Amino acid sequence: MITLHKLKIFILVCEQGSLNKAAQALYLSQSAVSQHIQDLEASLGAKLLNRSPRGTTATPAGEVLLDYARQMVRLLAEAEHDIVQIDTAQSLQLDLGATPGISVYLIPRWLRDFQSDYDNINVSMQTGLTKDIIAGVMDTRYDLGFVEGEIDDLVRDNLGQLPFYNMAYDVVVSADHDWAHQSTITPEQLAQHPFINRQPTSRTRRWMEGVLGRYGIRLKTTTELDSPGTIKYALLDGGGVSILPRYAVEREVERGELKVLSIEGVKLDRSLRLVWNQRAAFTATQRAFLNMLAPTAPQLSMLL
């Protein structure tokens, strides 16, 4: 059976040149992606992809399908855009909920792009803890929620969730810190240095300490603050060392005010996750917002 979902997967495989890369981008298994392609080939009665050690390319039949599939996806996106904007006098509402770092550093950028296209949609955004964002999505206070990390302990019936972006975390120090001339530090250096941490109830703190603990790193917490922004300003004032998401310090790093370092042998990244209530289909405003994000997160387009 040919579906828009399968066509979008086919497009991504062709663009990535690899089943595996497409699967990673979509947070799916390679076998699941392969099955979707096989379903398309069975429905059309034609081989669509050539696979070789050098990558995956479209066959002549695949090239024809790729052209039509791209046109279909583009036309659908244009139709949805025009339908949402058909009555500019109508005031539409979109309510978002997000955890602290996302609400401060990412959503304002998204809203700038979104409202340049949809100035007839009023957007309200509320910051909260992960459990509160999920509760708000389930009781329909929020149309969409954005949270960080794993939420297995908070899963409910009819809660939709999709990881769609990996966010890097770095050790961060001020430009005049003793480590500012380095690009990396050792686990021992980090463990011995006074550390600015999130509060004990923070899921981010529990995640970070769990990952570091697997490398034998026990943080020497001397200060506890309640948000990435508060920690960042403490660092700017020469407050010490912390670990923050890269998106929270991009501007300060570009201006030379803060320096980011990696930990030798340690990788810190965390998923950004969309959550929604599956009891109802996406509204036009929800779809418009997700379509705006989809070019940088292909897996979001698979929901639409």
List of domains in the chain: 4-84 (1.10.10.10), 92-160+276-301 (3.40.190.10), 166-270 (3.40.190.10)
The rounded distance, in Å, linking the Cα atoms of 96 and 125 is 5
| pTM, full prediction | 0.78
The rounded distance, in Å, linking the Cα atoms of 153 and 47 is 43
- Confidence band of 90 (pLDDT split at 50, 70, 90): low
Three-state SS at 183: coil
Tokens matching residue 206? 């529990």
- Confidence band of 183 (pLDDT split at 50, 70, 90): very high
CB 273 within 8 A of CB 147: yes
pLDDT tens digits for 287-304?
889 988 988 888 887 787
Cβ neighbours, 10 Å, residue 70: 15
What does the radius of gyration of the chain's CA atoms come to, in whole angstroms? 22
**What distances in angstroms separate CA 88 from CA 69, 108, 117, one per listed residue?**
30, 23, 12
Higher pLDDT, 124 or 11: 124
CB 147 within 8 A of CB 275: yes
- pLDDT at position 88 over 70: no
- pLDDT at position 119 over 80: yes
- Confidence band of 86 (pLDDT split at 50, 70, 90): low
- pLDDT at position 148 over 90: yes
Of these ranges, 2-16, 85-99, 156-170, the one predicted with the greatest mean pLDDT is 156-170
- Confidence band of 142 (pLDDT split at 50, 70, 90): very high
**What distances in angstroms separate CA 208 from CA 2, 73, 188, 213, 246, one per listed residue?**
43, 39, 16, 8, 14
The rounded distance, in Å, linking the Cα atoms of 10 and 60 is 14
- Confidence band of 174 (pLDDT split at 50, 70, 90): very high
- Confidence band of 147 (pLDDT split at 50, 70, 90): very high
Higher pLDDT, 76 or 219: 219
Tokens matching residue 29? 């298994």
Q: Which residues contact residue 187 at a Cβ distance below 8 angstroms, ignoring those fewer than 6 apart?
A: 212, 215, 216, 217, 263, 264, 265, 266
CA 145 to chain centre: 12
